């Protein structure tokens, strides 16, 4: 039986690594992407890593006629829906663009899945749905909080839409994976995170600073109530996160009218200063950094309880922050070698 899986946003950061892991586990990933936040060169990286030409449908997930055609031509058994805009700050400036892209793409997808009898969905959610947690680690029972950004709100709305569609006995079986902070790159250095603009996330800013593309990193505050005063996050290697998607697809097999959400993290908190120090160690580079003021909206500390992940998927992360930073640096060095100009450098 064909194991075609539609991977929307499959040319993006997490999607591309998931495509590699899907192929490794006998699935046949089919990428749907409009390259609004990725480069076509990702397809070459995928081919070099896997030795296979991955099927690509170039188009917009909000376009129902296009999506219907993709489903008719490929008859997928499931979908992993990564396609979305993801820049928190930008979402505050352009809320309509974020609601349109992130919510309409999901609605279109669910309509087409229903019409074409495709029943398994893995959805990219985020730990942002927990807001500022009252208790750590954050379990799936922790209350969600009103999102502080339109981006965060799109994830909460999307989870609700999926839950309601399952409750309507549509036959859909879905899991929302609530990611913590994905970092790192493929160990070959052939695919990785490729910010098309000045990165707002920590690790790409660190690697770009070490590579001389940025003057210095600003650490956003060292006066938090944490051991070294800087924020704490749960940084998960993108390869581990990719594997979690494959495990979730396996888990969904045979289920009907089913919905759940699962934290995907390591269970371990790491501070911003620890990231900087570990990066300096693994890259053998001195990082130019300064301590700045707090970034509005930053949560003091958050890391996942992984009990449910272990219990439900019978799996846990295997890779380390140290390894992720090494892989991120290797990827950055490769970008520099290829003189890729899409790093917010004009």
Interacting residue ranges for ligand UD1, rule: CB under 6 A: 86, 88, 126, 128, 152, 181, 200-202, 205, 217-220, 231, 233, 272, 295, 297-298
199 binds ligand NAD (CB under 6 A): no
Q: Which of 27, 98, 130, 151 is catalytic?
A: 151
Provide the 10 A C-beta neighbour count for residue 129: 21
105 binds ligand NAD (CB under 6 A): yes
301 makes contact, choosing from ligand NAD, ligand UD1, none, with CB < 5 to 8 Å by partner type, with none
Residues 6+ apart with CB under 8 A from 305: 137, 138, 139, 140, 263, 267
220 makes contact, choosing from ligand UD1, ligand NAD, none, with CB < 5 to 8 Å by partner type, with ligand UD1
For residue 224, the minimal CB distance to ligand UD1 (Å) is 9
Q: Closest by alpha carbon to 191, among 4, 2, 23?
A: 23
* Pairwise CA distance, residues 59 & 114, whole Å: 20
Q: Select the residue whose beta carbon is closest to ligand UD1 and give its number.
A: 231
For residue 233, the minimal CB distance to ligand UD1 (Å) is 5
For residue 235, the minimal CB distance to ligand UD1 (Å) is 8
15 makes contact, choosing from ligand UD1, ligand NAD, none, with CB < 5 to 8 Å by partner type, with ligand NAD
CB closer to ligand NAD out of 36 and 340:
36
Structure tokens at 29: 């990933």
Residues 113-152 that bind ligand NAD (CB under 6 A): 124, 126
Q: Is 151 labeled as catalytic in the residue annotation?
A: yes
Residues 58-97 that bind ligand NAD (CB under 6 A): 60-62, 82-84, 86
266 binds ligand NAD (CB under 6 A): no
* Pairwise CA distance, residues 66 & 6, whole Å: 13
Residue 261 three-state SS: strand
Residue 178 three-state SS: strand
38 binds ligand NAD (CB under 6 A): yes
Residues 6+ apart with CB under 8 A from 186: 17, 20, 45, 49, 192, 238, 239, 327, 331
Q: Which residues pair with 235 in a beta bridge?
A: 181
CB closer to ligand UD1 out of 107 and 287:
287
CB of 289 within 8 A of CB of 216? yes
* Pairwise CA distance, residues 289 & 276, whole Å: 9
Please spell the DSSP secondary structure of 87-99, one letter per residue: -HHHHHH-HHHHH
298 makes contact, choosing from ligand NAD, ligand UD1, none, with CB < 5 to 8 Å by partner type, with ligand UD1
Residues within the interface to ligand NAD (CB under 6 A): 9, 11-15, 33-38, 60-62, 82-84, 86, 101, 105, 124, 126, 179, 181-182
Would you please indicate which residues are annotated as catalytic (active-site) residues? Answer: 151
């Amino acid at each position: 039986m064909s194991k075609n899986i539609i991977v929307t946003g499959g040319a993006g950061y997490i999607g591309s690594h998931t495509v590699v892991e899907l192929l490794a586990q006998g699935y046949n990933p089919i990428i749907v992407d409009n390259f609004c936040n990725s480069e076509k060169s990702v397809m070459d990286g995928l081919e070099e890593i896997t030795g296979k030409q991955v099927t690509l449908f170039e188009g917009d997930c909000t376009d129902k006629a296009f999506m219907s055609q993709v489903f008719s031509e490929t008859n997928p058994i499931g979908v992993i829906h990564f396609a979305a805009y993801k820049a928190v700050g930008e979402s505050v400036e352009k809320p309509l663009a974020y609601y349109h892209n992130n919510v309409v793409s999901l609605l279109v997808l669910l309509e087409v899945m229903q019409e074409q009898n495709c029943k398994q969905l893995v959805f990219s959610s985020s730990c942002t749905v927990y807001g500022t947690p009252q208790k750590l680690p954050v379990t799936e029972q922790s209350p969600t909080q009103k999102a502080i950004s339109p981006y965060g709100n799109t994830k909460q709305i999307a989870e609700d839409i999926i839950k309601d569609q399952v409750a309507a006995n549509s036959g859909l079986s879905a899991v929302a994976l609530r990611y913590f902070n994905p970092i790192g790159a493929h160990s070959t250095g052939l695919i990785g995170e490729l910010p098309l603009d000045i990165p707002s996330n920590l690790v790409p800013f660190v690697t770009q600073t070490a590579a001389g593309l940025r003057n210095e990193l600003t650490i956003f505050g060292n006066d938090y109530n944490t051991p070294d005063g800087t924020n704490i996050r749960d940084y998960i290697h993108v390869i581990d996160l990719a594997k979690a998607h494959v495990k979730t697809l396996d888990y969904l097999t045979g289920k009907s009218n089913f919905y759940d959400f699962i934290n995907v993290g390591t269970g371990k908190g790491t501070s911003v200063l620890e990231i900087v120090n570990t990066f300096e160690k693994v890259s053998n580079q001195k990082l130019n950094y300064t301590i700045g003021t707090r970034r509005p909206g930053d949560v003091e500390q958050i890391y996942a309880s992984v009990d449910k992940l272990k219990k439900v998927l019978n799996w846990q992360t295997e890779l380390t922050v140290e390894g992720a930073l090494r892989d991120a640096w290797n990827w950055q060095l490769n970008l520099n070698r290829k003189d890729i100009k899409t790093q917010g450098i004009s």
